[in-house]
């Protein structure tokens, strides 16, 4: 993966492997951000590797590392 990134400056292989191995995609997740909690469904990873979460009102948000804590509904996954 690193060789591909170094040669092509692409994270496509890394993102593909993360998508294939993810235990979050397709599951409901609890998002905790600045003390505010919301429930959504993890629907995909975009090309930059950001988690896409869809909420009950239909909006989709990009969740990026370090911004929030993502947990399964029954605790950490």
User: Which CATH number covers residue 39?
Assistant: 2.30.30.100
Instruction: Compute mean pLDDT per 10 residues along the chain, 77 residues long, and list them.
Output: 78 88 87 83 93 96 69 62
Instruction: Name the one residue in this structure whose structure tokens are 């896409």.
Output: 52
State the pLDDT at residue 53.
94
Integer Cα distance of 29 and 48 in angstroms: 20
Integer Cα distance of 50 and 48 in angstroms: 6
Domain span at 8: 2-72
Instruction: Look at residue 59 and give its three-state secondary structure.
Output: coil
Task: Specify the pTM.
Answer: 0.76
Number of domains making up the chain: 1
77, part of any domain = no
State the pLDDT at residue 32.
79
């Amino acid at each position: 993966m690193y060789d591909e990134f170094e040669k092509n400056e692409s994270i496509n292989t890394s993102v593909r492997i993360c998508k294939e191995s993810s235990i979050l995609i397709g599951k409901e997740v609890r998002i905790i951000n600045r003390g505010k909690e919301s429930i959504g469904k993890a629907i995909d990873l975009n090309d930059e590797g950001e988690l896409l979460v869809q909420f009950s009102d239909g909006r989709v948000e990009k969740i990026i590392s370090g911004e929030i804590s993502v947990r399964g509904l029954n605790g950490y996954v």
